[in-house]
Amino acid sequence: MTPERPNILLIHSDQHRYDCLGQAGNPLAHTPHLDRLADEGVTFSHAFTPIPTCCPARQSLLSGLWPERHGGLWNYDITLPVSHFDAPTWTEALHASGYALGYVGKWHVHPTRTPLDFGFDDYVSTQDYATWRAGQGLPAYEPLDAGALGLDTLTSRWFGGRDPAPVEQSRTHWHADQAINLMHEYARQGQPWHIRLDFEEPHLPCYPAERFADLVDPDVIPPWGSFAETFRHKPYIQHQQLLTWGIQDLTWDAWGQYVAHYLGMVAQMDDAIGRVLGALDAEGLADSTLLIYTTDHGDACGSHRMIDKHYIMYEDVVRVPLIVRWPGVTEAGSQCDAFASHALDLASTMCEAGGIAGPAAMQGRSLVPWLRGDTVADWRQHVTSTFNGAQFGLYNMRMLRDRRWKYVWNPTDLDELYDLESDPWELKNRIAEPALQPRVQAMRHTLLEALTEQDDDLVSRPWLREQLATGHKLARRSL
């Protein structure tokens, strides 16, 4: 039996790599509280974002729709204008069913409409923290020495620094405290609640507080396995990214400092999550609360010598952490390797958990059977992800990923094929190998079927549909 109408606590972060968790086997990731959640719940080892871009991923989580359906194709606050999100949301339906809803932290869904316009009763924003911090007279963030890292001023701002304020007054912990306050308030009201605690961390630039800024020694951080990237036989835009950011000449010494502060920020966020878990226990709410931890997408973080998340479908950015604890439903310490299209499936999952139908057009599938430990015979055997452009120009990508292979369709450039078994860091693009052409063609057809089912307009017109179906593309002379 599934417990009826549990409280639903969604802890959501921004750009948390799937491999930067202690439970993922990273010895430099200090995440005891997220590791505890994994020990007490189920970890999805193959969860993937529908799109590695902030706004559309968050809009998909609220609507249960692919970005190509809800229309938020890229971030609304950068590059060319885009349609503003106005799709029906499951949060509105949850509110109508009697849940109290509170939102704390990063929004980045609509430029003028807030969570209060989508079913939430209370909203504490990142700007609220900035206002509170200014009122406390706390010192300003301290950036890293750009010259010492070999960075120009424009690029150095993304490498962060440290927060000289006490960690208890940092943004992570202040937001955690606001979520705890709402939890107490809703518990006193005696109605089921949904609280979303949305950390802006560890999105660049990272400014961890003192004890977390020095938690990981940059000198002991080994380079990512993809740091030897040469971009040979890769889409042009990937190498161009280094020039656009001005990071083409950075050595691992500089990247080591970046990763150290990234890991410090992850650890600080984990510490704030520990406060929330402690409050749940103290209030006696842990057993009646479905708790989900995930993120919108990952972060290159120096892998492939790149920064941020644009114009790539590498595991670093499309694969995400997903941990679910639901007492009475999930088996403690269990693992699920089913492919989860996380934003879409989580929307359907929270609808089922809350006992509501949600908007009729939702495109995900509920993960509740997997949470129970059931096997779903007709579950997807692959996962897709999309990309439509960002601040450096519009550029479409569509990815198909199965257990071993990843195919990336780049309609205006070279396609990509990676053998994740022999090449887990995705360094060797094998798209042009004659012996693999039957596999390439099969994956193209599978991707075409998936995009058609998703109602993706990129394949609704004959020109691009034909390109994907036939593989009629020019190969570079270098191939």
pLDDT, tens only, 371-393: 999 999 999 999 999 999 877 88
CATH number at residue 428: 3.30.1120.10
C-alpha to C-alpha distance for 84 and 143, rounded to whole angstroms: 34
Reported as a single tens digit per residue, the pLDDT across 162-212 is 999 999 999 999 999 999 999 999 999 999 999 999 999 999 999 999 999
For residue 284, pLDDT beyond 50? yes
Q: Does 476 reside within a domain?
A: no
Mark whether 86 and 143 lie in a shared domain.
Answer: yes
CATH number at residue 214: 3.40.720.10
Mark whether 370 and 406 lie in a shared domain.
Answer: no
Q: Does 391 reside within a domain?
A: no
CB 459 within 8 A of CB 451: yes
Q: Does 462 reside within a domain?
A: yes
Mark whether 134 and 41 lie in a shared domain.
Answer: yes
For 92, how many CA atoms within 13 A lie in the half-sphere containing its CB? 12
pLDDT of residue 154: 67
Q: Does 380 reside within a domain?
A: yes
Mark whether 345 and 318 lie in a shared domain.
Answer: yes
Mark whether 353 and 414 lie in a shared domain.
Answer: no
Percent of the chain's residues with pLDDT above 90: 91
Mark whether 274 and 354 lie in a shared domain.
Answer: yes
C-alpha to C-alpha distance for 127 and 141, rounded to whole angstroms: 16
Reported as a single tens digit per residue, the pLDDT across 5-54 is 999 999 999 999 999 999 999 999 999 999 999 999 999 999 999 999 99
Domain boundary among the residues 365, 385, 405 is at 385
Mark whether 326 and 424 lie in a shared domain.
Answer: no
Q: Does 479 reside within a domain?
A: no
Q: Does 341 reside within a domain?
A: yes
Question: Token pair for residue 381?
Answer: 């055997």
Reported as a single tens digit per residue, the pLDDT across 221-258 is 999 999 999 999 999 999 999 999 989 999 999 999 99
CA distances from 286 to 77, 278, 282, 326 (A): 38, 9, 9, 9
Domain boundary among the residues 337, 359, 385 is at 385
pLDDT of residue 2: 63
Reported as a single tens digit per residue, the pLDDT across 309-361 is 999 999 999 999 999 999 999 999 999 999 999 999 999 999 999 999 999 99
Number of compact structural domains in the chain: 2
Dihedrals φ, ψ of 473, to 5°? -135, 150
Q: Does 466 reside within a domain?
A: yes
CA quadruple 351, 357, 362, 366: dihedral, nearest 10: 40
Paired sense of beta strands 383-387 and 397-401, if any: antiparallel
Mark whether 304 and 238 lie in a shared domain.
Answer: yes
Mark whether 296 and 416 lie in a shared domain.
Answer: no
Dihedrals φ, ψ of 305, to 5°? 65, 20
Mark whether 416 and 337 lie in a shared domain.
Answer: no
Mark whether 129 and 24 lie in a shared domain.
Answer: yes
State the residue range of the domain holding 329: 7-385
Mark whether 350 and 381 lie in a shared domain.
Answer: yes
pLDDT of residue 240: 94
Contacts of 343 (CB under 8 A, 6+ apart): 49, 50, 57, 58, 60, 61, 64, 296, 364
Q: Does 372 reside within a domain?
A: yes
Domain boundary among the residues 336, 358, 385 is at 385
